[in-house]
């Protein structure tokens, strides 16, 4: 298990290889379809949000507002990442993102962006939303809540030992591509 703490350096990310198991601590930012489209079309990050060396988590967390106005994260499972394929590579390059967490993998454009800019795709376990929420030690802030709504907002989360697997590395390796190719070959052999 490799421990990573945000913000991530390019050297730390380039040292990771497909298949490495990691535990992430530090600050991560959620971002789904609305945020990716907004940023891709030239939108500005809200004040105080800096993605340089950071991690974007494809997640629409479930939050409970507390009496004091703070939030508690009760579910933080990954959402399907391929929807962000039209945007992800450009966002990685423009904002200096070093990691993307989600489920299901991404395509060749994102893989090329990871290789060019020094970023990795980290697969989180789907169906474990409550377990992953236990890794969220604090909800630091929420941005664009009124603009995009709760699932699409940028939630700024402090995490401790958040587990993930590197399934796309910065060297052109993609477990998702490899599994698809092997499955296609096995299917072809049966026909």
**Cβ pair 129, 76 in contact under 8 A:** yes
Among the listed residues 36, 58, 117, 143, the single catalytic one is 36
* Residues contacting residue 155 through CB under 8 Å, at least 6 positions apart: 29, 30, 59, 61, 63, 71, 73, 139, 141, 142
Q: How many CB atoms lie within 10 A of CB 175?
A: 17
36 part of the active site: yes
Residue 142, CA distances (Å) to 28, 39, 82, 135, 176 in order: 12, 16, 24, 18, 32
Cα separation, 177 vs 168, whole angstroms: 9
Active site residues: 36
């Amino acid at each position: 298990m490799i421990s990573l703490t945000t913000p991530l350096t390019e050297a730390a990310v380039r040292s990771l290889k497909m298949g490495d198991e990691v535990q992430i601590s530090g600050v991560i930012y959620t971002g789904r379809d609305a945020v990716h489209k907004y940023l891709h079309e030239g939108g500005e990050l809200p004040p105080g949000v800096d993605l340089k060396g950071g991690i974007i988590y494809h997640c629409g967390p479930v939050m409970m507002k507390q009496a004091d106005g703070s939030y508690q994260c009760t579910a933080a499972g990954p959402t399907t990442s391929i929807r962000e394929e039209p945007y992800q590579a450009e966002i990685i390059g423009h904002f200096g993102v070093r990691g993307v967490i989600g489920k299901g993998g991404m395509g060749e454009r994102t893989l090329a962006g990871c290789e060019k800019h020094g970023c990795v795709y980290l697969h989180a376990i789907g169906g474990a939303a409550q377990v992953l929420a236990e890794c969220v030690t604090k909800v630091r802030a929420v941005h664009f809540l009124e603009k995009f709504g709760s699932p699409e907002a940028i939630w700024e989360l402090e995490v401790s030992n958040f587990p993930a697997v590197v399934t796309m590395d910065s060297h052109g390796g993609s477990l998702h591509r490899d599994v698809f190719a092997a499955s296609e070959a096995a299917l072809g052999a049966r026909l």
